[in-house]
Amino acid sequence: MTHTHITPEMRSVLGREFAHSTSFPIAASDIRRWAIAVYYPEPPPARYWDRSVTREPLTAPQEFNPFAWMSSEGPAPAAEHDPDRHFRSLGVAGPGLRFQVNGGVEVAYGVPMREGDVITSSSSIAELTERTGRLGLMLFTTVETVLTNQDDAEVRRQRMTIIRY
């Protein structure tokens, strides 16, 4: 039998949500501050801060994070440095691998986030694969996070790959 880090229990949680959060309504000042930070030292485009240009609620830059300060559930707990936390939160033992690196992020954008939107974030383990490298057998875990607005329209889909060994 070939060695594998992926157990049947780990496969059983693919696609199941392990994290869910809801934002406060996006405020115009949040959009303005984000745009100032993103475009610094240049001034941000007027569409991110001046309603007289848009004649409608402000639209946030695509990379805007409505959870940057806090979610409606309150402050986020202190960051865990537990590589198995996603599996553990789903009631499954992880592979117990000690080291991890970021294997990349893919982002697809949907409808824009606007002033007044309430955003919901849902994260799940989307994919588990393995590959042998110089460090031995490596586990590739793809975590997918989908953000939707109050109308259930998708605003962003992000897939992050974590490489563990």
Neighbours of 160 (CB within 10 A): 17
CA 114 – CA 95 distance, rounded (Å): 40
Architecture of domain 8-25+82-164: Roll (3.10)
Average pLDDT along the chain, 165 residues, taken 10 residues at a time: 88 96 96 96 94 88 93 79 88 93 97 97 98 94 98 98 95
- DSSP code at position 5: S
In single-letter form, the type of residue at position 66 comes to P
The ranges assigned to domains in the chain are: 8-25+82-164
- For every residue of 70-102, DSSP letters joined together read -BTTBSPPPPP--TTHHHHHTT--------EEE
120-133/136-148 β-pairing: antiparallel
So what's the pLDDT on residue 138? 96
Read off the pLDDT of residues 52-98 as tens digits, 9 standing for 90 and up. Answer: 887 889 999 999 999 998 899 888 777 677 889 899 999 999 999 98
Cis peptide before 41 (omega within 30 of 0): yes
CA 22 – CA 48 distance, rounded (Å): 23
So what's the pLDDT on residue 79? 65
Hey, which bits of 93-148 come out as E strands?
100-109, 120-133, 136-148
